[in-house]
Structure 1
Amino acid sequence: MSDASSSVDPQEIAKFEAMAAEWWDPHGKFKPLHMMNPCRLGYVTRQIAAEFGRDLNRPRALEGLRILDIGCGGGLLCEPLARLGATVTGADAAERNIPVAKLHAEQSGLEIDYRHTTAEAIAASGEKFDVVLAMEVVEHVADPQAFLSVCAQLLESGGLTVVSTLNRNPKSYLMAIIGAEHVMRWLPKGTHDWAKFITPDELSGFLETAGMVPVDRRGFVFNPLGWSWSLSERDLSVNYAIAARAG
């Protein structure tokens, strides 16, 4: 994999390399992601269905769509999207994630094109996708604007991107850094850098500068009493996502 002209941050990649074997352990270091995954998957699939006129109640509802999941990790999003009929490519700059993802897909009887590569390298090859996902990635890259500009290059005309990240405010520091890393110990200390968190308005600006048009934004809200996640139109204070259409 070439890192030339890449937004990849080697120190961030090293963090996830160290945790690669635990991707599919719902009680391991990725427990928070397993807990949130149904919520973010629901948001992603509904946005895709709305954009491309698909009925999610039909089998293989996303058949015919090419989806790229950048920073795919162990494949927590790739696998359900493949089950919905999409042609899925999972890309990750952390090399150790890919064998884990490939093995789990094989055990699940799914065909997914997993690659140890960067968004920049795929864009340089000229490939295009109907949907580009960058979930919990942009807060780990060296240059968010450059990264999202590459995401835009990867989209077909009329394509859709969905980007999720963490807001930057005192509440997100309390929840994502103090709570998740120090109190609950869901994640190793240092997994997140609060200074790299991005506000919704900043992310919208990055997307617009990249030539995309934001069409929706939602918060992913954790309920500690019900120990569950839900979508919110108003509360984007910690985890949130923005969907944008290729301009």
Structure 2
Amino acid sequence: MQAQQSTVDAGEVAKFEAMAAEWWDPNGKFKPLHMLNPCRLDYITTQIAAEFDRDLGAAAPFDGLRILDIGCGGGLLCEPMARLGATVVGADAAERNIPVAQVHAEQSGLNIDYRHTTAEDLAAAGEQFDIVLNMEVVEHVADPLTYLTACQQLLRPGGLHICSTINRNPKSFVVAIIGAEHVMRWLPKGTHEWNKFITPDELFDLLGKAGLTPVDRKGFVFNPVRWDWSLSDRDLSVNYVTAALKP
């Protein structure tokens, strides 16, 4: 099949290429993701267990499930999914991320299929997955609807799509850009563009237009006193996550 037109934004890819070597440094440029990861994993594993009737207390609860982590970076989500027994494909448009992820997986004794490719090319090749993880990517692509449609095509019927991103409002500008990039310096300046942020209602609408059925959304909320993240049913004002199914 002919590859679909890519939604990759070359400028966005270049930002992450420049930071590739730091993916597994918990105090480096990806410190925010390391801090957020336990909260992300809590949501992801709970949604997968509920949808596919899996016991998270089992030795390999995701055995038999094929998972795609699109925009996998250095593999911060791929590795725990593999440890839970899933067959994992990690894909990223930033070529330099792939060897970093491969080396770390080998050092960890994990078998993960990492590829320098796009959602559109995977869909054109007819790849199919039970779960697509689409975390903190949609705000970096050139055409969110085309991108989400490719993610939908990658799912088997009944498949689960989990997507997180950043809300667009004055608070998110202060917290995610001024705070994270300029004050705390958790991220290099220019990592995010506020006008590319997507509100929860906009994302639900895009997911529906892409052929998915949204079923859940929650906020990721940072507590500066406890210095940790938690899930919230009500506060989606900055970071948030959604779950959607393919009919």
How far off its partner does 1:83 sit? 0.1
Alpha-carbon displacement from aligned partner over 1:5-46 (angstroms, at most 9, x marks no partner) = 000000000000000000000000000000000000110111
- Matched ranges for 1:28-107 at <5 A: 28-107=28-107
Cross-structure match for 2:231: 231
Instruction: Provide the TM-score with structure 2 as the length reference.
Output: 0.98
Give the Cα–Cα distance (whole angstroms) in 2 for the partners of residues 95 and 137 of structure 1.
Answer: 15
After TM superposition, give the deviation of residue 151 of structure 1 in Å. Answer: 0.4
Structure 2 unaligned spans of 5+: none
Match of 2:215 in 1: 215
Letter of the 2:199 counterpart:
T
Q: Which amino acid aligns with 1:219?
A: G
Cα distance in 2 for residues equivalent to 1:111 and 1:198: 34
> How many angstroms apart in 2 are the aligned matches of 1:97 and 1:130?
24
CA distance in 2, matches of 1:241, 1:147: 17
How does the TM-score come out when normalised to structure 1? 0.98
| CA distance in 2: counterparts of 1:3 and 1:62, whole angstroms | 30
1:3 shift after superposition: 8.2
Equivalent residue of 1:90, what SS? strand
Asked whether the 8 Å contact 2:181–2:187 carries over to 1, the reply is yes
Tell me which amino acid in the other structure corresponds to 2:200.
Answer: P
Counterparts of 2:57 and 2:8 in 1: how far apart (Å)? Answer: 37
Question: What are the Cα deviations for residues 170-202 of structure 1, in whole angstroms up to 9, with x where unaligned?
Answer: 110000000000000010000000000000000
Partners in 1 of 2:65 and 2:112 — Cα distance?
Answer: 13
Structure 2 CA distance, aligned partners of 1:65 and 1:18?
33
Q: Equivalents in 2 of 1:154, 1:223: separation in Å?
A: 35
Q: How big is the alpha-carbon RMSD for the aligned residues of Structure 1 and Structure 2?
A: 1.0
Q: Name 1:202's counterpart in structure 2.
A: 202
Q: Which residue of 1 aligns with 2:143?
A: 143
CA distance in 2, matches of 1:7, 1:66: 24
Once the two structures are TM-superposed, the CA of residue 47 in structure 1 deviates from its matched residue by: 0.4
Partner SS state of residue 142, structure 1: coil
Give the paired residue count: 246
2:64 and 2:86 in contact (8 A); partners too: yes
Quote the offset at 1:139 in angstroms: 0.1
CA distance in 1, matches of 2:203, 2:40: 17
Which position in structure 2 is the counterpart of 1:7?
7
Given that 2:4 and 2:124 are in contact with CA atoms closer than 8 Å, whether structure 1 keeps it comes out as no
Matches within 5 A, 1:162-177: 162-177=162-177
Identical residues among aligned pairs (%): 73
